Amino acid sequence: MSVRKLRDAVVLMSAFIALLWILQVFNWADGYRLDYQLGILPHQVSRLPEIFTAPFLHVSWQHIEGNTLPLFVLGVLAAYRGITKFLLLTLIVTVTSGLAVWLFQSGNAPTVGASGLIFGYFGYVVIRGFFDRNLLDIGVGVVAGILYWTILQVAIPGTPGISWLGHLGGLFGGVVAAWVLRAPPAVGAGPRGWTTGLGRELRSVRPDRPRSAGSPGSATPGRPASPHPGSKAAEDLLRELEEKGI
């Protein structure tokens, strides 16, 4: 993890949160008509594209206030590995959450809100480290799970006024994205490809494997180590002289 990527994640999520609040002001001033115009209406083919606009809208100030902090925190945790991967994650979660509502929810009331994204980011952050074999991400996922496990309660059927299908669809999308967007094995990674996530791979050391006389980090008896260990030609020349007994 780099400081630059973490900074980019914070800037991106700050801008996204600011956009949501600006839209909330306009939506509130307009009597929340945007919710009815751009919200998801189940089973209506003409309203299927609204799965991409619904996450930007909220039904009240309490709604957006409740979503802001977990969206920011989980969004930053999901984005610090790279903005491109985060945008793909957001697309996957938006589709799975929106389709769950559009396909399976009953009634004619519009569904809006960023809760599906929150659940998607939560699922992604918790699972990502296991798919990537990344110890740092596993630790981050454990912390996120401890802090936000209570949000899973609103993914249970029966909560009044809550689209549990959108939450469940988002959670499913986050887990799927963690698999689809998993990182390739790191070069030089340790046993089974595990890494620390801090720019250092876990390497296995075999103590029963002796170092050769000319290997890096060792000095030949009777001769000082090369003052320029990076010079391959000099090392080869010394080795050839030693083999000839010179």
Q: What is the rounded average pLDDT of the residues 31-39?
A: 96
Residues 167 and 235 in one domain: no
Phi then psi for residue 40, to 5 deg, are -80, 125
Q: Which residues contact 199 (CB under 8 A, 6 or more apart)?
A: 1, 2
Is residue 101 within 8 Å of residue 111, measured between CB atoms? yes
Is residue 99 in a domain? yes
Domain carrying residue 228: 213-246
User: Token pair of 58, please?
Assistant: 């909220």
- How many angstroms separate the CA atoms of 15 and 140, rounded? 23
Query: pLDDT band for position 218 (50/70/90)?
Result: very low
Residues paired with 40 in a beta bridge: 111
Residues 175 and 217 in one domain: no
Is residue 202 in a domain? no
User: Token pair of 115, please?
Assistant: 């809760």
Angle made by CA atoms 151, 156, 74, in degrees to the nearest 5: 25
Is residue 77 within 8 Å of residue 121, measured between CB atoms? yes
Residues 112 and 172 in one domain: yes
Judged by DSSP in three states, 211 sits in: coil
Q: pLDDT, tens digit, for every residue of 68-79?
A: 999 999 999 999
Query: pLDDT band for position 160 (50/70/90)?
Result: low
Torsion angle of alpha carbons 229, 233, 234, 237, nearest 10°? 140
Residues 135 and 224 in one domain: no
Higher pLDDT, 21 or 235: 21
Is residue 133 in a domain? yes
Q: How many domains does the chain have?
A: 2
Is residue 199 in a domain? no
Is residue 196 in a domain? no
Q: What is the mean pLDDT of the chain?
A: 82
Query: pLDDT band for position 221 (50/70/90)?
Result: very low
Higher pLDDT, 162 or 76: 76
Question: Quick check: 204 pLDDT over 90?
Answer: no
Q: Which residues contact 78 (CB under 8 A, 6 or more apart)?
A: 86, 89, 121, 124, 125, 128
- What helix, strand, coil percent values describe the chain, rounded to 5? 65, 0, 35
pTM of the model: 0.76
Residue 110, domain CATH:
1.20.1540.10
